[in-house]
Amino acid sequence: MKKYVGLYLYNIKVYMMAQMSFRVDFFIGLLSSLVEQIVYLIFLNILFGNIKEIAGFNYGQMLFIYGIATVGRSIHLIFFDNLWMFGSRYIRQGEFERLLLLPVNPLFQLICERIQPQGIGTTVIGSLAIFQASQELGLTWSFWKLLLLFFISICIGLLYAAIQLGPTALGFWIVESFPLTMGIFSLNQMAQYPLNIYPRAIQFLLVFVFPYAFTAYFPALYFLDLSMWGLLLPVIVLITFAVNYSLFRHGMTKFTSVGG
């Protein structure tokens, strides 16, 4: 474990030193991330300027769902961004062969070779949304409840990554897995709205197939004292990762280098 922590910190240091050579690109990326989140908040305000609630959820509750999803999404963005590069870079260009030659887990090395610090801006926006929603709803936060919120936010980020690992692993067979991965990933936006506005088939998809409902809806319901299902999040993370990592390991047995 100590070896992996040291290696991860070293990779982050090297990557950040490289990124600081292109500071303009870094700040443009940070700005674009902030603009994306601000645009959604503007949309939410316009929406609730015309209606009072969605399926029984008021503005404060919807803002809280958005906030907790955004903080969790930012963790995924910062620490697991390299998964998006798997098909185009590591399979098509043959770089995965390099990972197989290293004395560490290939998936670990894949993840730690790139971080996206621009996601910090997304963390800030999500945290402000949670704060504002708490003011709107009169929520009170004890130390232990804040600690649980922090833990749940990390689990949400891990669940985003665990779900993404499945379609990413298909890159071993279809090479360019980005379009499929992006298509599945876009489902997470549906989880930022009450599940009961969707047909049962969509609800089933978001809970049992691609469990994005646990990246926003169910965790938020727990903190809003509306449901206990959000506490299953750590279990959902472990199950999703176990299934998709098994697919990834099976894909490794099918990998052939670009030269052979």
For every residue of 151-192, DSSP letters joined together read HHHHHHHHHHHHHHHHHHHTHHHHS--HHHHHHHHGGGGGGG
pLDDT at 23: 63
Give pLDDT tens digits for 39-57. Answer: 777 877 787 777 788 889 9
* Structure confidence at residue 254 as a pLDDT band (50, 70, 90): confident
How large is the average pLDDT for residues 94-118? 88
pLDDT band at 118 (very low <50, low <70, confident <90, very high): confident
In this structure, what token pair is assigned to residue 55? 């399926």
pLDDT band at residue 28 under the 50/70/90 scheme: low
- Contact between 116 and 78 under an 8 Å Cβ cutoff? The reply is yes
**124-182, pLDDT tens digit by residue?**
889 999 999 999 999 999 999 999 999 999 999 999 999 999 999 999 999 888 999 99
Residues 6+ apart with CB under 8 A from 13: none
- Which of 81-85, 99-103, 202-206 is predicted least confidently? 99-103
Type of residue numbered 248: F
Residue 259, pLDDT above cutoff 60:
no
- The average confidence (pLDDT) of the chain is 88
pLDDT tens-digit series, residues 190-228? 998 999 999 999 999 999 999 999 999 999 999 999 999
Nearest to 165 by CA among 225, 243, 75, 106: 243
